[in-house]
Structures are given as C-alpha cells and as structure tokens.
Amino acid sequence: MIYVDIFVAGVGKWYEFRCEETEIVKNIIKEIYHTVMNIEFTTCTKLEEKNLERGKERIKEENLYLACIESKVVLNPNVRLEECVVNNGNRLILFDRCDL
C-alpha cells in the first residue's frame, strides 16, 4: 500500500490517496477521476455544478495521465504502480494531455 498526495489539475486541488502497488496505473487514474468527481459534485453549489458538468464533457478519462512530481516522470498507464518510480509519500499530478 502506498500513500500519495495527488494534485488534480482540472479541479486545482490536492487529495490524499491510498494506492495498491499491484494495481495498473490506468485503473488508479480511473479511481481517482471518479472519486474526485463524486467529492466535487457533493460539495458544490448549483453554479459550480454547471461548470463541473461542462468540465466532465471536456475531460475524458482516456486523456488523463499521472506524473510523479519528485521524479518528473509521466507514469506509463499500462504498467503496475510498483514498476513506476512512485514511493510512499510522493506527490503526483493528474492532468489532461490536452492541457500540455
């Protein structure tokens, strides 16, 4: 089990996550995406909800990537987390490739 802080660029917020080292990175991305969207929808106002809906239309799961801030490496979405350069306490960033 690895504990990491993840900055979600599309929302502009940090979240704490617990990840299994044996999980494939693209599954972790999917879990982060759905968890953050659920958190944001339950805590937003009606105006913010409209903005989130527009954001969900623009941001597609398949365009999301994780990068490790400490090692400056974009994680390969098709490998297990244990094969990446991620350690307990690292900071990651979830970003949309369209933001590059």
Q: What is the pLDDT of residue 47?
A: 53
Whether the full predicted model's pTM is greater than 0.95, yes or no, is no
Classified by CATH at the fold level, domain 2-99 comes out as Ubiquitin-like (UB roll) (3.10.20)
Q: What are phi and psi of 88, to 5 degrees?
A: -55, 130
Q: What is the pLDDT of residue 46?
A: 56
How crowded is residue 91: how many other Cβ atoms within 10 Å of its Cβ?
14
The string of pLDDT tens digits covering residues 19-29 is: 999 999 999 99
Dihedral of alpha carbons 25, 27, 94, 2, sign: negative
Distances (CA, A) of 9 to 22, 80, 83, 96: 25, 23, 24, 8
Q: What is the pLDDT of residue 81?
A: 94
Q: What is the pLDDT of residue 40?
A: 72
The string of pLDDT tens digits covering residues 26-81 is: 999 999 988 888 777 666 555 555 565 655 555 667 789 999 999 999 999 999 99
